[in-house]
Amino acid sequence: MRLKCCNHQLCLVRKPTVLAIERLWATIVRLGHLMETHSFRRALATALVALIQEDGQFVRVPVYELPEDMALWRQRSEWLMRGFITTSKNTASSLSEMIAFANGDTTSSTVVHWCLMGSADKPACCNTDQEALCKFLSHAVPFFSRGYETPLLYRMKGYGPASSFVSFGCCFFRMLPRILQRMAQRSDPGSECATLADALMTETSFRQPGNDGADTAGDFEHILADALDMNKNYSAQNSVRRRLVVEEISKPSFPRSVMAVDALIQPIEHGVNYMLGHTKILHDLGFLGRSHPQCGKLQEEARHKFLHTVSGNFGNTLVKEYVDFLQRGLTEAISMGLEAHPALLNQIFQLVIVCMTDLHRRLVYEFRFPPWSLFGLLDLDTAGFVQAWTTLQDKKGRLLTSRESPSDRSDRLVKATTKSIRKICGWNVFQRAEMEGLALTGDQYKSKIREISQKWRNMSPEDKSAFKLEAEHQQSKLDALAATPLPSSSSAPAQEGEVWRNAAKKLSARRLALNKNAFMAHELWTAPTQLGNSSFVCNRNTL
């Protein structure tokens, strides 16, 4: 069996969403390349220290009770925390501590710390404004100077952490845009800021060369990065990158764009983590061997994840997450600060449709056919399995000459469409009236037909006119029916009850062609979906 890598399939689903916002992907990649050099991270940390030390950028408010709006501020902080993606425990702890300390309104441009004053049994949070400032910098500098790895479109675990870092930096007191703008001013922040930034950066995973206890491989990477940064061509390239990043992130539309895309890729990131969990289980099974006590448990987990995927339930789960995003997640994002104007809302809806249709095509539709559909037999009981297996043997056990091929079905449909249909005449109406309620076969039927035929020939033109008029009425009904597509099964009896059932059935093939034409001309195909064009869907039965 050939099984496509589901992680790479998820990356392909994510690609159109990431590239939908102009220059967003390029900005995140450029900033990632800048984060690779120690000199840029040091300059970013120094600019952060200089920015926070400016008047009005950080405010400590001593209080004995927290304000009433604290519940709303905490709700937004928890929302930012949930949306942040990282595999580093240090980064997660730094983020949690920083959010807990900077407990003000994160939508403003001033970092506010509501400091609870001490009591008899509990000491104060901070004694002075300078102590509060140092505490915030001890959380913020290690977090922002750590940065992220440069993402790649085909890398499973690259874009999520990068996008969430940029999104958080734009939503958390607009720290990242303001830091980069401070760096672009090219003013000397002072030796004290640089010294404090160097001291705080030692808490990050990026150690500086020459520090006691610095790891050799990390030192070599920093020396190499600094040597590249001293190269004129590389330095000029980084200068252009920095200018383009600052120019793009400073735009008012950038924060809402990165917030929207970061929220849209959350279901895909959940899927990537699920599939990487399956990969880890397979790695552990290969490493531990069958004699390990945990082997049986790992095998059961791997089996469950595999069947969950090939049954299409995994893809349907991700599709449902996007439905939930439209119903609740988008409303929550708007309440948390996403400026949703009509153009952005329309683009978000189109991107959701793209992701849902592509997930359905890659992770649901692909597993509907053998051999993957056979795994559905595992969930049946004995009676259900026997019945399903009998049906399977009946279909697969037919002779090749008796099986109906796709060409046979198409030929039969063409024949039914092009077949000429006689119009209803007065004799047909008279015959139907005379034969109503009778169930005759063989000679009895032939005898009855001869009898009513003789009766019809002996009728006067005046008596026949009523039947001819009814025939014209019935024919007009059939002509109107032939010009309409096939309805649903619930409304078909009501529409076809006014005309002859047998005559209506002869029109079904022609009416089906009208259904296909209406389907292919539907406005759905003007929207950007990943189902393919209308001809592909009709031929492959994707929907």
- The model's pLDDT over 136-147, given as tens digits with 9 standing for 90+, comes to 999 999 999 988
The mean pLDDT value of the chain amounts to 83
- Residues 204 and 92 reside in one and the same domain: yes
If asked whether residues 237 and 318 sit together in one domain, one would say no
| Domain limits for position 274 | 265-368
Q: Domain for residue 244, yes or no?
A: yes
Q: Are residues 257 and 286 in the same domain?
A: no
Residues 528 and 489 placed together within one structural domain of the fold: no
Query: Residue 91 has what pLDDT?
Result: 85
Q: Are residues 173 and 219 in the same domain?
A: yes
Domain assignment present for residue 150? The answer is yes
The closest of 83, 76, 21 to 254, measured between CA atoms, is 21
Q: Which residues of the chain fall short of a pLDDT of 50?
A: 205-214, 540, 543
Here the tokens at position 99 are 């959010």
Q: Is the pTM of this model over 0.75?
A: no
| CA pseudo-torsion sign 67, 68, 69, 71 | positive
Same domain, 252 and 323: no
Q: What amino acid occupies position 221?
A: E
Residue 247 lies inside a defined structural domain of this protein: yes
Residues 438 and 542 in one domain: no
- Asked whether residue 208 is domain-assigned, the answer is yes
The answer to whether position 115 is within a domain reads: yes
483 with 515, same domain? no
- What lies within 8 Å, CB to CB, of 162 at 6+ separation is 28, 32, 148, 149, 150, 151
Q: Same domain, yes or no, for 191 and 340?
A: no
414 and 452 co-located in one domain: no
CA distance 199 to 193: 10
Choose the final residue of a domain: 262, 295, 320: 262
Taking a C-beta distance cutoff of 8 angstroms, is the pair 158, 152 a contact? yes
Q: Give CA angle at 29 (27, 35), nearest 5°.
A: 105
pLDDT at 499: 56
Boundary-marking domain end, from 225, 240, 262: 262
Helical (H) or strand (E) element with 113: strand 111-116
- Residues 41, 187: one domain? yes
**Is there a domain that residue 250 lies in?**
yes
How many domains, in total, are found in the chain? Answer: 4
Q: Does residue 114 fall inside a structural domain? A: yes
Is 469 within a domain?
Answer: yes
Residue 49 sits in the same domain as residue 187: yes
Q: What is the pLDDT of residue 534?
A: 53
